[in-house]
Amino acid sequence: MHRLCIVCWVLGHHKIQGNVLADQLAASAHENTADTSIPIPVLDLKPFLKRKPRDYWQSSWERHTQNKLNVIKPHRQQISLHPSMFIGREPLLKYES
């Protein structure tokens, strides 16, 4: 079974009104060195800052494949801990007293 495939060049912007002006404006914007940075509110960074350690932890987990737990659970589960547990204010051993 033979199939024929024809490849041809299509001029995507040929004879489209305003294309030359759009190309000129794009080139001038590329050459513009004005500062276009926009301040980002801290709350907008919070999801990124929370995700970054989890991504690092997952990639570290994926690199260590020579343990039995990794074979059983190839993806670590997100651990949800109350913030007070991190600073030692939660009575975790309350049942012992």
**Sign of the CA dihedral running 73, 76, 82, 84:** positive
- pLDDT, tens digit (0-9, with 9 covering 90-100), for 35-90: 778 888 888 888 888 888 888 888 887 787 777 766 666 665 544 555 555 555 55
3-state SS assignment for residue 71? helix
Decide: pTM greater than 0.75.
Answer: no
Residues 66, 51: Cα–Cα separation, whole Å? 26
60 close to 75: Cβ distance less than 8 angstroms: no
The four Cα atoms 77, 81, 85, 91 give a dihedral, to 10 degrees, of -100
- pLDDT, tens digit (0-9, with 9 covering 90-100), for 6-43: 888 777 777 777 888 888 888 888 887 777 788 888 88
